[in-house]
Structure 1
Amino acid sequence: MHFDNEKTLLVEVAQNNPAAFELLFKQYHNKVYSYSIKICQSALQAEEIVQDVFIKVWINRASLPNIENFGAYIRIMARNQVLQVLKRIALETRCHALMNQDWTEQQKETENYIYYNDTRKILDRALSTLPPQQRLIYNMCHLQGMKQQEVANQLHISRLTVKAHLRRAVQTVRSIVLVDSHILVAIILSQLFKK
């Protein structure tokens, strides 16, 4: 099918002539594709842009006879479609980054919570092995933050007795925590190397 000029071709497309639309598509397909691929750097996206542009041309075909310069018109349509695609890609990239960040933060919070609980269990187990007086003095000094003299006054014993009980308690707790923490470190390392 042959049309005398582009204006006649646009009129025929506006009158629902599929052969005229096919000819218009053939004339401008490569220009829209070349423009799109140059900016998007993706053949798949460039093809989608071509399809979207020509779908819009067909949907708005009634206005085609009013267009003075179809080449400029289709170039603007292609540019607008490319911009929409780039905005969508930027939004998707940002969403993926935010989801990954949230996931990583939640994962870290969960891991920190697990490590804290494991460490707390190790400490509680170590404290449970202490004789009652050592455990009481350890709790008062290390967990409640009391000074040795305050503990001595409250328990009605000498500060040197508090100091001796505290030293033995710390040694016992340290030795148990060290043994258990080696096991904990081994578990953590094995989990890291699985990833």
Structure 2
Amino acid sequence: MQKLTYERERELLNQLTLDDEQAFTTLFHSYKNKIYGFILGITSSKEISKDIVQDVFFKIWKMRRRACEIENFNALVYRMARNAALDHLKRASRESTVLSHLSVISKESTSDDPFEDIKASEIKVKYESALQKLPKQQRLVYELKHLQGIEYAEIAKKLSLSVPTIRSHFRNALNSLKSNLFLTLFIIITHF
């Protein structure tokens, strides 16, 4: 699709205010490839970049009633895309940190120090308990992703769910485990 003129873009934004799906589709097709390439440069993931493009345009659709107030649509779309990509990277970094801690917790201890073995055993029991408290779907996604190393797309296919839903279940499982284990870990580590 060819680049939109400023006048045509303004016209489409005015139409979008009136819930014009065709105007939205035209804006989407005019920007999707540029935004996808931009996001791909930040995330280095085709799958994530596609998801972010969809999320950005979903947000634009939700704010369509105020579309005529947008001064610079191009700048808005790129800012939304950049922010979404950076938010994804921050979230992924936090998840990576939590996963590394959970990996340590879930492994058996083979220390020469009996107190370390007791700590590790107690931590493992708390971890297993926290894992069992997760809702069934979250636990299943967590186990498939973290413990078995299966990719989001494959899990989504296996469970007949969307990739964003799988990501959401995994993120929620991590947050629950982190919050359920934080105090326990702190108490165990500081009292031995």
Among 35, 52, 62, the residue aligned to 1:59: 62
Report the counterpart of residue 21 of structure 1 in structure 2: 24
Report the CA distance shift for 1:23/1:111 in structure 2 as closer, same or farther (over 3 A): farther
After TM superposition, the runs of 4+ consecutive aligned structure 1 residues lying more than 2 A away are: 109-113
Render the CA deviation track for 1:3-44: whole Å, top value 9, x for unaligned. Answer: 951111001111101111000000110121011100100000
2:86 pairs with 1:86: no
Superposition TM-score, scaled by structure 2 size: 0.53
Residue 53 of structure 1 deviates from its aligned partner by: 0.1
Residue 103 of structure 1 deviates from its aligned partner by: 2.5
Among 38, 42, 45, the residue aligned to 1:39: 42
The whole-number CA distance in structure 2 between the counterparts of 1:51 and 1:30 is 12
Letter in 2 for 1:73: L
What residue ranges of structure 2 are gaps of 5+ in the alignment? Answer: 118-192
The whole-number CA distance in structure 1 between the counterparts of 2:52 and 2:13 is 21
Tell which has more relative contact order, 1 or 2 (C-alpha 8 A, sep 6+): 2
- 2:66 partner SS: helix
Figure out how many residues of one structure are paired with residues of the other and give that number.
Answer: 111
Letter in 2 for 1:85: H
2:50 pairs with 1:74: no
Residue 111 of structure 1 deviates from its aligned partner by: 8.2
Matches within 5 A, 1:176-187: none
RMSD: 2.3
Matches within 5 A, 1:1-195: 5-104=8-107, 107-108=108-109
Residue 90 of structure 1 deviates from its aligned partner by: 0.7
What residue ranges of structure 1 are gaps of 5+ in the alignment? Answer: 117-195
Larger Rg: 1
Residue 84 of structure 1 deviates from its aligned partner by: 1.3
Letter in 2 for 1:13: L
Letter in 2 for 1:46: S
The whole-number CA distance in structure 2 between the counterparts of 1:40 and 1:89 is 10
The whole-number CA distance in structure 2 between the counterparts of 1:30 and 1:24 is 11
Letter in 2 for 1:36: I
The whole-number CA distance in structure 2 between the counterparts of 1:20 and 1:49 is 20
